[in-house]
Amino acid sequence: MSPPLYIALRFLSHRKRALLLSLSGVVFGVGIFICTQAQTQGFARYFIDSTIGSNGALVIRSRFRPRYKALMVAAKSSNTNAAHRLYFEGITDANQIMRVSRRFSNVVSCSPVLRGQLSARAGFENATVDLFGIDPVLHSQTTDLLHELIAGSFDDFRNNTSSVIVGSRLAEELGVDIGDTVQLLSPGGEYWRFTVAAIARAGVGSIDSTRIYSHARVAQTLLQKPFGASMIIYKLRDPDRAPALANHFENLFQHVSTSWQEREESTLQLFLMLRVSAAITVSLIILLAGFGIFNVLTMSVLAKVKEIAILRSMGYRRIDISAIFLWQGALVAAAGSVLGCLLGALMTWGVGHIPIRIRGLLYANHFLVTWDWRHYFWATVLAIVAVFIASYVPARRAAELAPVVTLRGSSV
């Protein structure tokens, strides 16, 4: 053990009560920082996983054709690419696009979907629904539909073209269960009868309250569409690379391609703002703990003036005196970070088991948390920076004390 470190330990032992108060501020600041970040990111991660699992990491939809720029004047406020394109509804060559896109290493699988809005009726209840006409095999390989089923059988849906899968909240709204009948109103004004084969819960309110799955060919006849797919959804090995692949697909296939980051941009920004707000609020606790450490070390300097003068007269340099008080701050930061990380882990585990009923944007029966090493890293960095800043001024003041004047009893 180096002499400055040994002396720092001795100095700290003389102000135990003040030291414990400052240390507890660091511990609780680090712990609460970790817990709040785990909680806010937990809800965000659940939303991301659910929406990717239901809507894909990447979507190709309407085809477009470049317009002849010489005959067109775009509005100043309009998007340049959108203004120079002529859009057409639907995808007419879905099989060819899927065959080519499967050659990309990041593509796991893809599924064509025919989408349309209809009116649904069951008993005396009515609702506007979002119909997804799917290929059962391809869609089960591309999405998490099999894992989202909470009642019924996927095989019953796959083997019966007159059956549907209904979102859980929509099923509650319509008052239907497995084996019941749902009627969908076609654009021609005719009601088509379907049997509820399964009920699915994606965990996202906007999906569970509106979506119905049917067979693609049945949906095409029901919606009276000349094309078999209105979009193609993709499952990717690395969803974080979806924007780059979407841009490449758009140029390659001349179809609008949207990544999940672009599709859910507003919701992701909301979660980000919540995380930043929570981080700033909790950081104030660590900042207040830093003020406490500043006061403890400042009082230590004033109380150890003669001892510092003696050390200087014994040959200790200014840098050695500064090191003594910086070591005190480092010890508080190290102990506070370790204990704070343990407290944060314990609080995260405890919060994750608190029951709560959420039936809005998300579906959850308890607080959602995520375990991420970066939460512990940034909490530790924040604590070290705050304590270092709080320790620097007292350490510098101690180093500037004049030993001869101090030993003669002059004021400092």
Predicted confidence (pLDDT) per residue in 224-270, tens digit:
888 889 999 999 999 999 999 999 999 899 889 999 999 888 888 88
Mean pLDDT of 95-111: 93
pLDDT at residue 80 is higher than 70? no
Residue 143 maps to a domain: yes
In a domain, 341, yes or no: yes
How many domains in the chain?
2
Together in a domain, 11 and 97:
no
Q: Determine the Cα–Cα distance for residues 243 and 234; give it in Å rounded to an integer.
A: 12
Same domain? 195 vs 101: yes
pLDDT at position 244 is 93
Is 134 inside any structural domain?
yes
Q: Which two tokens stand for residue 195?
A: 């049997």
CA pair distance 372, 369, nearest whole angstrom: 10
Do 207 and 123 have their domain in common? yes
Single out the residue in 263, 297, 322 at which a domain terminates.
263
* Helices 265-303 + 16-55 axis angle, to 10: 170
- To the nearest 10°, report the CA torsion of 368, 280, 284, 42: 10
Name the pTM for this structure.
Answer: 0.75
User: According to the model, what pLDDT value does residue 123 have?
Assistant: 83
Whether 329 and 397 map to the same domain: the answer is yes
* 27 and 167 in a common domain: no
Q: What is the pLDDT of residue 189?
A: 85
Domain boundary among 215, 239, 263: 263
Residue 412 within a domain = no
- For the ranges 110-124, 251-265, 364-378, the lowest mean pLDDT is seen at 364-378
| Residue 37 lies in domain | 3-52+267-407
Instruction: Express each pLDDT in 298-332 by its tens digit.
Output: 666 655 556 666 665 666 676 766 777 677 777 88
48 and 189 together in one domain:
no
Query: Do both 245 and 308 map to the same domain?
Result: no
Structural domain includes residue 19: yes
59 assigned to some structural domain:
yes
The listed range with the strongest mean pLDDT (12-16, 77-81, 96-100, 306-310) is 96-100
Q: What is the mean pLDDT of residues 43-64?
A: 87
Residue 339 lies in a domain: yes
Q: Rounded distance, CA 344 to CA 38, Å?
A: 9
Residues with Cβ within 8 Å of 29's Cβ and at least 6 positions away in sequence, in order, are 282, 283, 285, 286, 288, 289, 336, 340, 382, 383
Q: Are 90 and 17 in a shared domain?
A: no
Strand partners of residue 134: 113, 215
**Confidence grade of residue 78 (pLDDT, cut at 50, 70, 90):** very low
pLDDT of residue 203: 86
DSSP-derived secondary structure for 343-385: HHHHHHHHHTT-EEEEESSBEEEE------HHHHHHHHHHHHH
In a shared domain, residues 29 and 71? no
Same domain, 40 and 141: no
Is 21 in the same domain as 88? no
Instruction: Using pLDDT thresholds of 50, 70 and 90, give the confidence band for residue 24.
Output: confident
Domain end call among 199, 231, 263:
263
* Judgement on whether residues 231 and 150 belong to the same structural domain of the protein: yes
Does residue 106 form part of some domain? yes
Residue 49: the pLDDT is 86
